[in-house]
């Protein structure tokens, strides 16, 4: 293994060490921020998996919301262990993704973008209009995660960290697997891929399903963690926006990029939310436009450029 | 079912459809020429409606007088957006284009939030409350005039596309960009003009919107989603399809609002449902011919 490889592993170990010891030195508020970072690491990594097949979703909030509502409603009805309803949230989100995937089989990427946006809005309206199941616009309250309080927040952090690690590890393994070749083959040339015996439809739906599964789980986690969920928060278009801008900022098609993007933008977003209050999303708009025009490969592209030059 | 109510519901649907067609026609024009998914289109409506509102409340300028101004302002706006933002990514993947226009939407929406606050506002002209009576049917004067503006502008645009040199080059580029280029059409100029004209139609839709309903900073997103549903329904790039699609959406929403329990809540979902259903059964649009 090259020096570079050892360096990578070492820095990864240090990062993991820091992440595991975080609760011992961070304040409650900072811990809350890091939990949110973990939530967005999952969302951004999952969205990026979809991009490997060259599909864009503008409606990842749909899967987040489905996960959150599934977890909340199932928990309030049967009081099963939270891990069960969170995974169920992931499963339901995946089912939604299969539905979207099948609808969008014959669709061009641009049409898919619109369809996913419409899907998220449609689900939100369903949730608002079916108060028998979801309590409508009022939202659902859930018992605080692990009984609430300071220790509970530490447990919540480890749970979020666990979900984030599993998601990132899955993305990493996916990227090393044969599946990744199938995914990118569709991306590069759909017709050639299907001639080589790769069924584009199958892999497109598969990528959608995997992506939605993790987002659904983390949606369920979020519902438990915040202990209250309402349609406008769960299906907030901002979630869909952040899902795109975070991987883009870090670097599309990489594994580390979306994680990096989630860290930077969640913390920046919170800082702006406190200091600017109204209209702070304008900064996101500028970042998005800037990235597309001047830095389409994101920060990881910048890093790659530097190391190559050396 | 009461026949008079039914007639009223149909009339309301058609009037709303007229407004929808104004925004959808511009969107479909831009898509047809450039194959760009333009989320900024909704913001042209937002800008047009605030422009009209402030001209009226600050200086008492009637919406009819601000119409030409809005058309001019939004035309320039569209040309600038195309020139400085869309043009650099014309050959980039769709992906980048969509995210770029989405980023521009975030900027414009939040500028509006900062300057105009998130409040819902509306203006009252001398004819806001006036209405015509046709037997049992009431026609709101502002809505009727908005409808007529929409029809007039759409007919004007269709004629321009059919008869003028510019229109012919737009149609040529819509059909086959490469061939048009080879035949000596100045594609860059066509792009600029199409984006400008499309945005101007959006601005006109904003003028009409401010006459008949509440406006708020996020209004553009609401309308652009409906416009996308209409454009998908009518077939991307087809002006006639956009008009028919608008009427279908307006009528369906009006019927749902009046005849379903909790109808106004469900009506908001009609466009998304139409969108999804059409994409399943006819992904290239209802009126698409090979």
Tell me the pLDDT of chain A (310 aa) as tens digits. Answer: 566 778 888 888 888 888 888 887 888 888 889 999 999 999 999 999 988 887 888 889 999 999 999 998 888 888 888 888 889 899 999 999 998 887 776 666 677 778 888 888 888 888 888 777 777 777 788 878 777 777 788 888 899 999 999 999 998 988 888 878 777 777 666 666 666 666 777 888 888 899 999 999 999 999 999 888 888 888 888 888 888 888 888 888 888 889 999 999 888 888 888 887 777 788 888 888 888 888 877 788 777 777 766 5
Ordered by start, the domain boundaries in chain B are 3-281
Q: What is the pLDDT of residue A216?
A: 95
Distance from C-alpha of B159 to C-alpha of B153, rounded to nearest angstrom: 10
Label residue B290 by pLDDT band (50, 70, 90): very low
The beta-carbon neighbor of A292 closest among B99, B109, B110 is B99
Chain A interface disruption, residue of B31, B80, B91, B107, most A CBs within 10 A: B107
Q: Is A285 an interface residue toward B (CB < 8 Å)?
A: yes
Q: What is the pLDDT of residue A308?
A: 67
Task: Give yes or no for residue B274 having a pLDDT over 50.
Answer: yes
Distance from the Cα of A6 to chain B's closest Cα (Å) equals 35
Cβ contacts of B233 on chain A, cutoff 8 Å: none
> Is the distance from CB of B110 to CB of A281 less than 8 angstroms?
yes
What ipTM did this prediction achieve? Answer: 0.81
Helices B40-59/B94-116 angle, 10° precision = 20
Label residue B199 by pLDDT band (50, 70, 90): very high
Reduced to 3 states, what is the DSSP secondary structure of residue A228?
strand
Work out whether strand B131-134 and strand A140-141 pair parallel, antiparallel, or are unpaired: unpaired
Answer yes or no: do A114 and B37 touch at CB < 8 A.
yes
Q: Is A10 an interface residue toward B (CB < 8 Å)?
A: no
Q: Is A295 an interface residue toward B (CB < 8 Å)?
A: no
Chain B interface disruption, residue of A285, A297, A301, most B CBs within 10 A: A285
Element containing residue B137 per DSSP (H, E): strand B137-140
Distance from the Cα of A152 to chain B's closest Cα (Å) equals 36
Q: What is the pLDDT of residue A198?
A: 67
Distance from C-alpha of A198 to C-alpha of B246, rounded to nearest angstrom: 40
Q: What is the pLDDT of residue B143?
A: 84
pLDDT tens profile B34-65:
878 888 999 999 999 999 999 998 998 888 88
Distance from the Cα of A48 to chain B's closest Cα (Å) equals 13
> Is the distance from CB of B88 to CB of A293 less than 8 angstroms?
yes
Query: Average model confidence (pLDDT) for chain B?
Result: 84
């Amino acid at each position: 293994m090259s020096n570079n490889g050892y360096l990578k592993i070492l820095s990864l170990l240090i990062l993991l060490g820091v992440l595991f010891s975080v609760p011992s030195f961070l304040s409650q508020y900072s811990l809350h921020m890091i939990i949110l970072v973990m939530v967005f690491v999952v969302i951004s990594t999952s969205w990026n998996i979809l991009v490997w097949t060259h599909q864009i979703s503008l409606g990842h909030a749909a899967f987040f919301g489905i996960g959150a509502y599934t977890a909340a409603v199932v928990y309030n009805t049967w009081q099963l262990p939270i891990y069960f309803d969170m995974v169920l949230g992931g499963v339901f989100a995946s089912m939604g993704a299969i539905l979207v995937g099948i609808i969008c089989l014959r669709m061009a990427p641009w049409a898919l973008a619109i369809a996913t946006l419409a899907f998220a809005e449609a689900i939100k309206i369903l949730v608002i209009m079916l108060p028998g199941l979801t309590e409508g616009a009022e939202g659902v309250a859930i018992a605080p995660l692990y009984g609430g309080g300071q220790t509970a927040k530490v447990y919540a952090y480890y749970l979020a960290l666990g979900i984030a690690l599993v998601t990132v590890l899955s993305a990493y393994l996916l990227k090393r697997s044969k599946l990744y070749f199938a995914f990118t083959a569709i991306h590069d040339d759909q017709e050639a891929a299907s001639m080589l015996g790769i069924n584009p439809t199958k892999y497109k739906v598969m990528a959608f399903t995997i992506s939605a599964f993790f987002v659904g789980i983390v949606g369920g986690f979020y519902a438990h963690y915040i202990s209250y969920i309402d349609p406008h928060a769960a299906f907030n278009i901002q979630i869909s926006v952040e899902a795109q801008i975070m991987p883009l900022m870090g670097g599309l098609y990489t594994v580390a990029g979306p994680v990096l993007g989630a860290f930077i933008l969640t913390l920046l977003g919170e800082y702006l939310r406190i200091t600017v209050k109204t209209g702070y999303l304008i900064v996101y708009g500028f970042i998005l436009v800037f990235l597309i025009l001047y830095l389409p490969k994101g920060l990881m592209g910048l890093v790659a450029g530097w190391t190559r030059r050396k | 079912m009461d026949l008079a109510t039914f007639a009223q519901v149909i009339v309301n649907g058609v009037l709303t459809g007229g407004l929808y067609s104004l925004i959808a026609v511009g969107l479909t024009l831009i898509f047809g020429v450039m194959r760009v998914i333009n989320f900024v289109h909704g913001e042209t409506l937002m800008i047009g409606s605030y422009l009209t509102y402030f001209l009226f409340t600050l200086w008492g300028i009637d919406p009819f007088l601000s119409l030409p101004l809005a058309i001019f302002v939004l035309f320039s706006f569209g040309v600038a957006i195309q020139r400085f933002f869309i043009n650099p990514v014309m050959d980039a993947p769709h992906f980048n284009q969509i995210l770029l226009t989405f980023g521009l939407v975030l900027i414009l929406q939040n500028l509006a939030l900062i300057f105009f606050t998130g409040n819902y506002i509306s203006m009252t002209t001398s004819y806001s409350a006036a209405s015509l009576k046709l037997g049992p049917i009431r026609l709101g004067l502002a809505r009727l005039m908005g409808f007529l503006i929409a029809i007039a502008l759409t007919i004007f645009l269709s004629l321009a596309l059919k008869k003028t040199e510019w229109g012919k080059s737009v149609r040529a580029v819509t059909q086959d960009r490469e061939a048009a280029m080879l035949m000596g059409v100045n594609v860059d100029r066509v792009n600029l003009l199409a984006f400008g004209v499309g945005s101007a139609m959006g601005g006109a839709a904003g003028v009409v919107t401010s006459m008949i309903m509440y406006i708020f900073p996020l209004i553009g997103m609401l309308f652009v989603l409906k416009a996308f549903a209409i454009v998908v329904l009518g077939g991307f790039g087809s002006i006639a399809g956009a008009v028919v699609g608008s009427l279908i959406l307006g009528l369906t929403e009006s019927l749902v609002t009046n005849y379903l329990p909790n109808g106004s809540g469900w009506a908001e979902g009609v466009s998304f449902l139409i969108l999804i259903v059409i994409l399943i059964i006819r992904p290239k649009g209802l009126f698409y011919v090979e």
